[in-house]
Amino acid sequence: DLERDEVVGLPGKKGANLVFTRYLSQERIPDPQMVKSADFSFRLKPGLPNSILRLETIDEKYRVWRSKPFVLGEASGKRVKFHVFERDSEKVSEISADASRFLDVRYEFAPSRGSVIPCPGGRNLWGILGGNVPLVTGFGQGETGYGNSAVLALNVKTPNWEKSSPDFVKEQDGSWALKFSGCSYVSLPQQIWPVHAGFELEMEVNPDDVKRKQYLVFTGTTSASIYVADGRVYAHFFLRNKFMRVSGRAASVTVKGPEIAAGKWQKVKLVCDQRTAHVEVDGVRGEAMPVSGDLFYPLYTAVGGGAKGGEFFAGRIRNLKIGVR
């Protein structure tokens, strides 16, 4: 039902998707009414829960006038504290904002819209199976490859490499998960991974193997990622401030996490408060490492995708969410 779902996709091979979407546009620019005041009403379906609405009018001289902004959605009255790295002063500050200002960034990986992966935070945060995020959001891909697709990293020597989309699997408890084959991935928007703020990333993982290096979430070699290797979970950060002012070696920080097992569900969490970062597996906390700085902007956010073909994830993933810290 395209009117209800807005976007529906059909997965293809080699990063291709066929996407159907509603596209509403104004039929024409209305003629000047030559009046001093007017009343009108309309129905609105905002793209984001905390969208900002403005009234714009044009006078007889074609000058544009805009009203004060109106924030949709009421404030909750609950404050949420989080940490931000200030690039110029290179210090970490704790600030707070109303809880209603934060988008709900979580993905359940259920097959409600075909190959399109929705998010309660709004369509700007939706993703797609084995494809390219701009097919869903309508923006985000630039000439430098930002917002591009992880399919470019696939190795043609990897078995069944053309099947870039993971499969939906219904678990015994009724929940949905995605099964990755070692060459499949999910593309999510770049901006879900905070560049300057502290954050928590949480997901449930059931890997087929834990010895081979394979990425759970990959955003580029000069940004941040979380991966499995040698029976453990690791996180990697590439800090722009250290790279620009110290050296490339100092910019790269690897955080060693606890052990992880193959063949069973485990909850993996990466926590960074812009002072330290650590990895948790089923509540077991790994060693905290100093991590303070801003990241280079992600190339893309690929769940299950890696820097090259042999580093794509094999196993199942469900219930991914990201929040501020």
pLDDT tens digits, 227-262: 999 999 999 999 988 888 777 777 899 999 999 999
Q: Would you list the DSSP string of 224-247?
A: EEEEEETTEEEEEEEBHHHHHHT-
Give 30's DSSP letter.
P
User: Roughly how many angstroms between the first and final C-alpha of the chain, as a whole number?
Assistant: 37
Tell me what pLDDT residue 141 has.
55
17-21 and 7-11 as β-strands: parallel, antiparallel, unpaired? antiparallel
Q: pLDDT band at 144, cuts 50/70/90?
A: very low
Tell me what pLDDT residue 158 has.
76
In tens, the pLDDT along 120-139 reads 988 889 999 988 888 888 76
At residue 32, does pLDDT exceed 80? no
Regarding predicted confidence, which is higher, 148 or 43? 43
Domain spans, the chain: 78-324
Q: pLDDT band at 151, cuts 50/70/90?
A: confident
Regarding predicted confidence, which is higher, 159 or 101? 101
Report the pLDDT averaged over residues 14-35. Answer: 82
Q: pLDDT band at 92, cuts 50/70/90?
A: very high
Dihedral angle sign, alpha carbons of residues 296, 301, 302, 303: positive
Torsion of CA 204, 206, 209, 214, to 10 degrees: -30
Alpha carbon distance 189, 191 (integer Å): 6
At residue 23, does pLDDT exceed 80? no
Q: Return the residue matching tokens 């010895």.
A: 211
Dihedral angle sign, alpha carbons of residues 304, 10, 141, 200: negative
- Contacts by 115-122, CB closer than 8 A, 24 or more apart: 115/9, 115/10, 115/11, 115/17, 115/19, 115/165, 116/7, 116/8, 116/9, 116/19, 117/186, 117/188, 120/49, 121/48, 121/49, 122/46, 122/47, 122/48, 122/49
Structure token pair of residue 177: 């998960």
In tens, the pLDDT along 173-223 reads 999 999 999 999 999 988 888 889 999 999 999 999 999 999 999 988 888
CATH topology of domain 78-324: Jelly Rolls (2.60.120)
Alpha carbon distance 171, 177 (integer Å): 7
Alpha carbon distance 78, 51 (integer Å): 19
What rounded mean pLDDT belongs to the chain? 88
Most confident of 60-74, 117-131, 261-275: 261-275
Helices (H), the chain: 2-5, 134-137, 240-245, 248-251
Regarding predicted confidence, which is higher, 211 or 13? 211
Phi-psi region of 313 (alpha: psi -120 to 50; beta: other; left: phi over 0): beta
pTM: 0.89
